[in-house]
Structure 1
Amino acid sequence: MRRLTVLLLATCLPLTAPLPASAQDAASAATRAAQAELAARLPLDDPRDMANVMRGKIAEIADGVILTKDGKTVWDRRPYAFLAAERAPDTVNPSLWRQARLNAVHGLFEVVPGKIWQIRGYDISVMTIIRGKAGWIVVDPLLSEEAAAAGWKLFADTVEAKSGKLPIKAVIFSHSHSDHFGGVGGIVTPERVKREKIRIIAPHGFSEEATSENVLAGAAMGRRALYMFGSILAPGPTGQVDTGLGPKLSSGTIGYMEPTETVGEGGGTLTIDGLAFEFLDAGGTEAPSEFVFYIPAYKALHSTEVVTHNLHNVLTLRGAQVRDALRWSKVIDATLMKWGGKADVVMASHHWPTWGAGEVSTLLANQRDAYRYVHDRTLFLANRGATLHELADQTPEAPVQGRDFSTRGYYGTVNHDMKATYQRYFGWWDGNPANFNPLPPEASAPKYVALAGGADKLLAAGKAAIAAGEYRWAAELLNKLVFAQPDNQDGRAALASAYDQLGYQAESGAWRNYYLAAAASLRGNAVENISGNGQSRSFVSAIPTGVFFDALATRFDAAKGAAVAGTFQFVLPDSKESVAVVVGGGVEVPRYGVTDAAPTATITLNRATLDDVMLGQAQFPALMQSGAIKIDGDRMAFLSWFALHPPANPRFNVVVP
């Protein structure tokens, strides 16, 4: 999942004048027909996935509720009791409903009797616990420390209460996304790792990727993530039901711990607490730094996030660098060739395991084929002239998706994964010069309204499209009206209605959430005071200093600072680092590890003080007054330059200008 090293926003309030709060639309006749058509062609009553989901369940956290020490909610499954109904309501895609019900099962599960357990349903991700020779090996300790601690307590109270307390001998981070390492502080402390020589094992490149991904673009990614994960929606049949990849994100503290060792590009075998682990490098698939591994003694394959029970994102809706669908398919094929026929069970960092050597091989082959289909169909059509939107729109689901639920688009989709693959090869432009430098939406929208004969006529056309069940066309028309006249309440209401139906029909949890969150924003019904994730000091302290200054450079207001020139030398005594920031021509260039001979000003402060600023526990003006920051040279030049770094707007508009 990528995914989640961003600091999720604490609140999300409407930034434009909202409509009076109003109820969402019911499912239209066109939506009901679309749901019925899908339900008729898919074997939704196939019991095998639910049998695997329930297999080995031995305990659960009461009501699925996890609280912080001061009583704040980290996880609460009680509002999702509506998922107990077997039949999907008309307002939820029946295939997504099936996936949501599978993801809703929570508890402690025994995967390999007496050897491997999983904690599932208490975060978007899954934590795996493996019995070694003398203790426990923990894989992927969830997103937040509170969720991980609660999951570990459930394990200790259930398994250790019978078998006896054993030490944690190792923690494995499967890849560089924070929902797979952020909860490590809920399992072990740095002091304990050092004292007990606990191994922290990760793939090569982990440290840089885990601590820097999303830092530069964190504000925009965080804002879009609220829509993608449905964090501004209330749970319910007309709201958030699932993400497709898992139930939702836990709302706790994201931490970090530096690996004690990494597995190289060549993979290989490591003996961990007496058990042989065979690793295969998977970097450049779902994450830049990732591996999969096999435990021969238990005939157990861990496919991390390379193979899960859905088609994944080649480009996530919240934003990220485009992934490589071709490499993804090849890594899965290599996994199949290496361990297919050997593994009796495959488990992942999301969803539930699959048992049986034949079933494992089938799962791997089908997943491989889904990513290969996305890649090859994109280039087949692109090389015949189809552009980004054309090729995605004319491509049906992959043949394998009709027979294997694990490949369906619950998170990624063939549609947007093909667009991402096109982007990877050809960029954002479709080759048509009319689309090379178009007017921005705010400039073109009034012209479209005028061309339509005025707002009333465009509104009427949009409503006619809704009545005809042409919701994509309705959204395209009404979006022009809303961008031309953001206070046009009738236009906003009609656009929200189109988004409702698109969301109801979506099989992808991410698509559903985005559409319905957009509708809620237009109506002014977005959930306020969202309890988000907070990054711990351990995480912030691990962000490379060079990345911090690169992020600072992205905040430089070039329009106001075009004439500013100088060099500002930063000295960090506690970390023994130095950064020279060269400013001129409307840009600033941080030079990590450089000491300028004649800087405009020298700023001396500890790296720990920078961490305080990033954590929101201190601000530069107060720190300068207190003496925590020492400035030599042209103090006023520094202050003038620093004032040219306004903070990002974490609550910018998404569905209105």
Structure 2
Amino acid sequence: MQKFLCAMLLSTASATGAFAQDAKPASDATIAAQRSMAAQLPVDDGRDLEFADRGFIGTLADPIITNKDGKPVWNLGAYDWMGNSASPDTVNPSLWRHMGLLRKHGLYAVTDNMWQVRGFDVSNMTIIKGQTGWIIIDPLTSRDTAAAALKLVNEKLGTRPVSAVIYSHSHGDHFGGVRGIVNEADVKAGKVTIIAPEHFLAETASENVMAGPAMGRRATFQFGTNLAPGPQGQMGSGIGKGIGGGDITLISPTIDIRKTGEVREIDGVNLEFQMVPATEAPAEMNVYIPAARTFLAAEIATCSLHNILTPRGAKVRDALSWSGFLNEAVNLYGDRSDTIISSHCWPRFGQSEVKGWLSGQRDNYRYLHDQTVRMMNKGMTQVEIAEALKAPPAIGDQWFNKGYYGTYSHNSKAVYQYYLGWYDAVPANLNPHPPEVRAAKMVAAMGGAKKLLAAAKKAMKAGDYRWSSDLLNQLVFADPKNVEGRALLADSYEQQGYQAESAIWRNMFLTGAAELRRGMKAGVSTQSIDMISAIPTGLLLDSVATRLDPKIIGNAALTLNFVISDRKETAKVTVGNAVMISEMGTGHAAPAVTISGPRQLFLALLFLKMPAAQLQMAGLKIEGDRSVVDKLQAALDPMPGAFNIAEP
């Protein structure tokens, strides 16, 4: 049963191969834009390159990381083709410089008894030498890349067990590889400690289970999952390479950190924590290592402006708090740190670098916040603010403040949304037609498809790809079978991708182009049976409730008791008014049906919708009105799959 569940839920969780390269060359307008960008870039003083190379010990001889079945899930050398050449016309020169630094991979010494493995995933694995074993901070995204990283550590530094794991926050690339480095039996036996910020599991469930299907599909665009690395393809993610394949795993934390300044002795090493909730993740913390005079800024400070609202979707973040926590970090740890590292990108060395890096990014988020609010209070809308707001040179000319991941355009809209929501107060935008209806009316109003195509071609010839894609998107949503319109929209998206300084904007434009040309492909799943198994049952049942179809359940009133034998849990489930309410630790006095068995069988019943009769043969016990089970199961949507984005 376990293997079957894994196969079902992980069917899209490994690399799926890239789109066929059907790319066009850079247009004259794009070439001119790239040259203009190159002329505006600040002087490169070489510090980033020196910091990115410092402490290199070695990397794996074989660049291909495979899973247990021998299937490749990560290629360390995916960007070797870049060499030391100048940026091609199809890549923004600022992004080209940035990716030249991010493509480095291997084991690096940070300071005494402290190392990082970089380039084995989108994130970094940090290693601290404890008295008896390794303390690992952020075990990457998948079992396979984490295992390969630990193998390199043991080969280069000497084999030791893992004594503790720290999850800095509730995003999968910071916990998903945990089973590649530790055994859950050792955790349960107390041999391995797992530390996480308060509310870690609840926020993991919210992002990866509750909204996981939608986020997973959108992440295919954000990270360019189906784009091959290349001068006309994927150029990383702005804070790392890309998202690899392999199993996403999770073991529940054994210790929650709850307050800033909390100190824990872990395997003989004192660690101090700074809580930074509602910044890059709802549950997040930084780690200070006093003996190493090193501050790990998790993901609130990296080599790029981050996202206040990530394009893949998430809870909007608090830019003001983000800036405030960076300021707190300067005050608490700036004078005590000689080195600063993060869970992405490369370190910086020297106390002045630590304070300059933190304070520079503090000012970036504060300026973004304050100026968005200032313009907002003048009556400017999201789009107007995004067009007007630019970082001043004192902030924007610092390489680590550039928009390789987040952008001022996207982030200013997020700040606006944080305070005012999506509605801009213009009544015409309060109740517009849905996209397909509006598109058909717009095409008709412009005089039909031929006139719209002519206008779009004129815009493209002038290099106004923003306007051409606006026009052509209307045509494709009105008539997705319009071959010429699809092809031109793909071309328009492609040129905007080539020009983008942000790696993820590039990915989104190029993925849109690829899907218009070649159709939709599956991406990387954010869910796995292992991660779901670690999520508290109550949170899982809340997720199940979001799949209840009111048209199917109708006015049915259902009462069920769940008895989860292997976890000694009970749940009271009530369906009425097309709503499913679950309460843990209690039950109906006289339920219509009681279902008993191990939680794996409940997952199969509610997530995979396996027939109840088949599950009864596997050990699920159903007492009472069996039709109640059938009605509930029939009313649950299947686990969502991919959906269209670039077309209706």
User: Considering the TM-score relative to the shorter chain, is it more than 0.5?
Assistant: yes
Q: 2:147 aligns with which of 146, 149, 157?
A: 149
**Pairing 1:583–2:592 present:** no
Match of 1:499 in 2: 493
Q: 1:619 aligns with which of 599, 610, 613?
A: 610
Q: 2:586 aligns with which of 575, 582, 594?
A: 594
How much has 1:601 moved relative to structure 2?
2.6
What one-letter code is carried by the residue in structure 2 that aligns with 1:328? W
Tell me, which stretches of 5 or more residues in structure 1 are unaligned? 1-5
Match of 2:537 in 1: 545
Q: How does 1:288-367 map to 2 (within 5 A)?
A: 288-367=282-361
What one-letter code is carried by the residue in structure 2 that aligns with 1:598? A
Moved more, 36-45 or 403-412: 36-45
Contact 2:364 2:391 in 1 (8 A): no
**Pairing 1:642–2:642 present:** no
**Pairing 1:124–2:122 present:** yes
Q: 1:607 aligns with which of 599, 608, 618?
A: 599
How much has 1:156 moved relative to structure 2?
0.8
Contact 1:173 1:200 in 2 (8 A): yes
Moved more, 453-462 or 570-579: 570-579
Q: Considering only aligned residues, what root-mean-square deviation do their CA atoms show, in Å?
A: 2.3
Q: How does 1:416-431 map to 2 (within 5 A)?
A: 416-431=410-425
Match of 1:140 in 2: 138
The count of residues paired between Structure 1 and Structure 2 equals: 639
Aligned counterparts of 1:13 and 1:206: Cα–Cα separation in 2: 30
CA change 1:150–1:533 in 2 (3 A) is farther
Aligned counterparts of 2:28 and 2:532: Cα–Cα separation in 1: 50
**Pairing 1:654–2:648 present:** no
What does the per-residue CA deviation read over 1:115-140, in whole Å, with 9 as the maximum and x for residues that have no partner?
11110001000011112344322111
What is the DSSP-based 3-state SS (H/G/I as helix, E as strand, rest coil) of the residue aligned with 2:128?
strand
CA change 1:293–1:640 in 2 (3 A) is closer
TM-score (norm 2): 0.94
**Pairing 1:36–2:27 present:** no
Q: How does 1:25-424 map to 2 (within 5 A)?
A: 25-43=24-42, 45-112=44-111, 114-160=112-158, 165-195=159-189, 197-424=191-418
Contact 1:600 1:633 in 2 (8 A): yes
CA change 1:12–1:201 in 2 (3 A) is closer
How much has 1:536 moved relative to structure 2?
5.4
How much has 1:604 moved relative to structure 2?
2.5
Aligned counterparts of 2:633 and 2:461: Cα–Cα separation in 1: 54
Aligned counterparts of 1:214 and 1:449: Cα–Cα separation in 2: 38
Contact 1:271 1:277 in 2 (8 A): yes
CA change 1:613–1:68 in 2 (3 A) is farther
Contact 1:326 1:372 in 2 (8 A): yes
What does the per-residue CA deviation read over 1:442-483, in whole Å, with 9 as the maximum and x for residues that have no partner?
111111111111111111111111111111111111100000
Moved more, 181-190 or 22-31: 22-31
What is the DSSP-based 3-state SS (H/G/I as helix, E as strand, rest coil) of the residue aligned with 1:518?
helix
Contact 1:252 1:533 in 2 (8 A): no
What one-letter code is carried by the residue in structure 2 that aligns with 1:482? V
Aligned counterparts of 2:392 and 2:316: Cα–Cα separation in 1: 21
What does the per-residue CA deviation read over 1:136-161, in whole Å, with 9 as the maximum and x for residues that have no partner?
2211111111111111111111111x
How much has 1:605 moved relative to structure 2?
3.0
**Pairing 1:633–2:632 present:** no
How much has 1:642 moved relative to structure 2?
1.8
What does the per-residue CA deviation read over 1:389-408, in whole Å, with 9 as the maximum and x for residues that have no partner?
11111112343443211111
Q: 1:573 aligns with which of 548, 565, 568?
A: 565
What does the per-residue CA deviation read over 1:216-263, in whole Å, with 9 as the maximum and x for residues that have no partner?
111111111111110121221111111001001121111112222122
Moved more, 496-505 or 210-219: 210-219
CA change 1:560–1:10 in 2 (3 A) is same
Aligned counterparts of 1:166 and 1:653: Cα–Cα separation in 2: 47
Aligned counterparts of 2:216 and 2:343: Cα–Cα separation in 1: 22
What one-letter code is carried by the residue in structure 1 that aligns with 2:470? E
What does the per-residue CA deviation read over 1:584-628, in whole Å, with 9 as the maximum and x for residues that have no partner?
223222233331123233222321313456886x82345345263
What does the per-residue CA deviation read over 1:188-214, in whole Å, with 9 as the maximum and x for residues that have no partner?
112223446322222222232234423
What is the DSSP-based 3-state SS (H/G/I as helix, E as strand, rest coil) of the residue aligned with 1:110?
strand
How much has 1:542 moved relative to structure 2?
1.1
Aligned counterparts of 2:314 and 2:103: Cα–Cα separation in 1: 27
**Pairing 1:524–2:518 present:** yes
Contact 2:558 2:576 in 1 (8 A): yes
Match of 2:5 in 1: none
How much has 1:42 moved relative to structure 2?
1.0
How much has 1:369 moved relative to structure 2?
0.7
How much has 1:271 moved relative to structure 2?
2.1
Aligned counterparts of 1:240 and 1:75: Cα–Cα separation in 2: 14
Aligned counterparts of 1:295 and 1:377: Cα–Cα separation in 2: 35
Aligned counterparts of 2:565 and 2:130: Cα–Cα separation in 1: 42
CA change 1:78–1:280 in 2 (3 A) is closer
CA change 1:614–1:101 in 2 (3 A) is farther
CA change 1:398–1:602 in 2 (3 A) is farther
CA change 1:585–1:285 in 2 (3 A) is same
Match of 1:3 in 2: none
How much has 1:573 moved relative to structure 2?
2.3
Percent identical among aligned pairs is 46
Q: 2:484 aligns with which of 478, 482, 490?
A: 490
CA change 1:614–1:539 in 2 (3 A) is farther
What one-letter code is carried by the residue in structure 2 that aligns with 1:67? T
Moved more, 323-332 or 26-35: 26-35
What is the DSSP-based 3-state SS (H/G/I as helix, E as strand, rest coil) of the residue aligned with 1:323?
coil
Contact 2:607 2:639 in 1 (8 A): no
CA change 1:86–1:402 in 2 (3 A) is farther
What one-letter code is carried by the residue in structure 1 that aligns with 2:502? S
What does the per-residue CA deviation read over 1:342-373, in whole Å, with 9 as the maximum and x for residues that have no partner?
31110010010000111111101101011111
Match of 2:12 in 1: 9
Contact 2:340 2:349 in 1 (8 A): yes
Contact 1:64 1:106 in 2 (8 A): no
Contact 2:202 2:539 in 1 (8 A): no
What is the DSSP-based 3-state SS (H/G/I as helix, E as strand, rest coil) of the residue aligned with 1:603?
strand
CA change 1:573–1:276 in 2 (3 A) is closer
Contact 2:117 2:149 in 1 (8 A): yes
Contact 1:211 1:542 in 2 (8 A): no
